[in-house]
């Protein structure tokens, strides 16, 4: 097989995401059909939207019959965070050629975390490794949401608590990030700004505010962070 090494490595690296996306995608499918929507909307949304949090929010858009402008603004705020950390992948994606549009489309929090946490083998064809990693992650979400929708159309489920699987996945990825960096400063900044935003800022603006403030402090302490990482 031409890209056997890239496929095998991408699959191995993506296993933690499979555990989270499978469960959370399943929960999304169950939730979607619980509002009397057709099961096939789950795979369609997972193929063409593929934005976990936004897909959950989209169900509410459907229910309240929101207008296009309202949907566009809300979607922008929900996914604004990806604009910030996506900038750090410009160099990594620079030579990906025809694969770049899909890599940009398929970038999620979990894919980003894997790309910035796991050390890459020098022998890998990097563009194709990134492609297969992104594709595997989307396939997990697609399969999970489709199964959830199909099964939920035939069996009643209590979906309470299933959404916590994404939070658990983020915690694991955060721990892996720290184990690699061994630098507490970015994590302390993120923790403090998030707590502050949670207390002071309205919940619908909390995420964007905490990201912006975190970025400001990261720039302020940039020298200390870089010096500590070099030691």
Q: Mean pLDDT, to the nearest integer, of 164-182?
A: 69
Q: In this structure, which long-range contacts are made by residues 203-212, counting pairs with CB atoms below 8 Å and at least 24 apart in sequence?
A: 204/77, 205/77, 207/77, 207/78, 207/81, 208/77, 208/80, 208/81, 211/80, 211/81, 211/84
DSSP label at 118?
Answer: S
pLDDT, residue 63, reads 75
DSSP label at 136?
Answer: H
Q: Mean pLDDT, to the nearest integer, of 5-32?
A: 90
DSSP label at 78?
Answer: H
pTM over 0.75: no
Out of 182-196, 198-212, 214-228, least confident range: 214-228
- How far is residue 49 from each of residues 58, 155, 216, 223, measured CA to CA in Å? 10, 26, 30, 38
Q: From CA 133, how far away is CA 138, in angstroms rounded?
A: 9
Q: Locate tokens 């035939």: which residue?
A: 154
Q: Mean pLDDT, to the nearest integer, of 144-165?
A: 80
Contacts of residue 216, defined as CB under 8 A and 6 or more positions apart, other chains included, come to: none
Q: Which one, of 52, 24, 46, lies nearest residue 162 by Cα?
A: 24
- How far is residue 111 from each of residues 28, 63, 156, 194, measured CA to CA in Å? 19, 30, 32, 22
- Place 100 in a pLDDT band, splitting at 50, 70 and 90: very high
Which pLDDT tens digit goes with each residue over 39-56? 999 999 999 988 877 787
């Amino acid at each position: 097989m031409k890209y056997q090494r890239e496929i095998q490595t991408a699959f191995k690296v993506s296993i933690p995401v499979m555990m989270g996306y499978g469960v959370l995608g399943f929960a999304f499918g169950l939730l979607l059909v619980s509002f009397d929507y057709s099961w096939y909307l789950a795979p369609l949304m997972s193929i063409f939207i593929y934005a976990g949090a936004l897909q959950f929010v989209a169900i509410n858009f459907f229910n309240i019959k929101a207008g296009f402008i309202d949907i566009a603004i809300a979607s922008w705020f929900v996914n604004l965070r990806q604009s910030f950390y996506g900038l750090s992948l410009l160099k990594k994606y620079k030579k990906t050629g025809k694969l770049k549009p899909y890599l940009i489309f398929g970038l999620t929090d979990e894919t980003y975390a894997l790309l910035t946490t796991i050390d890459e083998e020098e022998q890998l064809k990097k563009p194709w490794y990134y492609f297969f990693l992104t594709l595997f992650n989307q396939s997990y979400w697609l399969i999970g949401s489709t199964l959830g929708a199909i099964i939920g159309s035939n069996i009643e489920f209590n979906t309470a608590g299933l959404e916590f699987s994404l939070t658990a996945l983020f915690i694991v990825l955060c721990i892996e990030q720290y184990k690699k960096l061994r630098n507490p400063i970015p994590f302390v900044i993120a923790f403090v700004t998030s707590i502050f935003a949670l207390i002071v800022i309205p919940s619908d603006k909390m995420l964007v505010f905490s990201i912006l403030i975190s970025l400001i402090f990261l720039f302020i302490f940039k020298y200390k962070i870089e010096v500590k990482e070099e030691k």
